[in-house]
Amino acid sequence: MILYHSLIADVIIALDHQLDTQWREFGTFLHVTPAFMDRISNDKSNVTPCMLQLVEKWFVHEDGTGDLPRTWQTVVQVVKHTGKGRLAEQLAEQYRVQLPVQ
């Protein structure tokens, strides 16, 4: 679990809040179910921002978070799909993964 905490922090830091308002779109491209995202946004007892919860629960393979590989390649691909091409390029270069062609 310690490894996941490090990866979760790395992803959140790398995204630099640039997708916080698009967390549902990000989750959709990660194949997270709408019902799971609704649970995140409706959980008033948890003050953790939705994007942080989404990334955290996706990395630990919580039910409803899809079956995509938990890799930087996946994160870069999803960032690009959300329209943040420059951020995707920076992440691809920094983490030495292939930038999706599209």
| pLDDT, tens only, 59-68 | 999 999 999 9
Instruction: Tell me, yes or no, whether 16 lies in a domain.
Output: yes
Mean pLDDT is lowest, of 44-53, 55-64, 91-100, for: 44-53
Instruction: Tell me, yes or no, whether 24 lies in a domain.
Output: yes
Instruction: Tell me, yes or no, whether 98 lies in a domain.
Output: no
Range of 52's domain? 2-68
72 within 8 A of 99, measured Cβ to Cβ: no
Q: In whole angstroms, give the CA distance from residue 34 to residue 80.
A: 20
Instruction: Tell me, yes or no, whether 101 lies in a domain.
Output: no
Segment 72-92, tens digit of pLDDT: 999 999 999 999 999 999 999
Q: In the chain, how many domains are there?
A: 1
Query: pTM, whole model, 2 decimals?
Result: 0.89
Instruction: Tell me, yes or no, whether 9 lies in a domain.
Output: yes
Instruction: Tell me, yes or no, whether 15 lies in a domain.
Output: yes
Start-to-end C-alpha separation, the chain: 34
